[in-house]
Amino acid sequence: AAHCRSSWLSSRRIRAGTPPTTVKGGTSRCTTAPAVLWDALYQMVTTLFQLYEDEEEVMVDRAFNSCSNLRLARGEGTMTRKNAGLMRNYSDTYEGRVIDIQAHIKTAEVRPGSPKFLRIYFCYDPALHKIIVGSCGEHLENHTSQKIH
């Protein structure tokens, strides 16, 4: 696909709401290998940004997933969305307004603490033409992870 070609776009396309090693609600030691993190950020400012900016692309998640080693999830599951307490994890503030950061990209690694484990939660703002990162590194608590703890 045309969107899968690597072309460098300005890093100004992403605005971080929190530092890359911050987990929403507190700080954590980021165990993700730098190469994994930088690859994910690069794919966000190139492929993912281009897909969001393409007005003809209606299924950004499918298009991204078809050409990336990462996976894009548009949001959380039904049980998480029904729980107001858990949903507070998925809202952030950017330039004085509340944003929804349910969308996230993730590696295939499922073991937190692994150097290959990464979740980047974000909001795409079409008016600003920006991807706004709300949380980077660890998995935010959801209905499934709540059962594990």
Rounded CA gap, 87 and 39, in Å? 28
pLDDT over 50 at 139, yes or no: yes
What is the per-residue pLDDT for 21? 40
Rounded CA gap, 49 and 136, in Å? 17
pLDDT over 70 at 126, yes or no: yes
What is the per-residue pLDDT for 77? 65
What is the per-residue pLDDT for 100? 87
Q: How confident is the model at residue 149 (pLDDT cuts 50, 70, 90)?
A: very low
The per-residue pLDDT for range 36-81, each reduced to its tens digit, is 999 999 999 999 999 999 999 999 999 999 999 999 998 776 776 6
* Length of the chain, in residues: 149
The per-residue pLDDT for range 82-119, each reduced to its tens digit, is 777 766 777 888 999 999 888 999 999 988 889 999 98
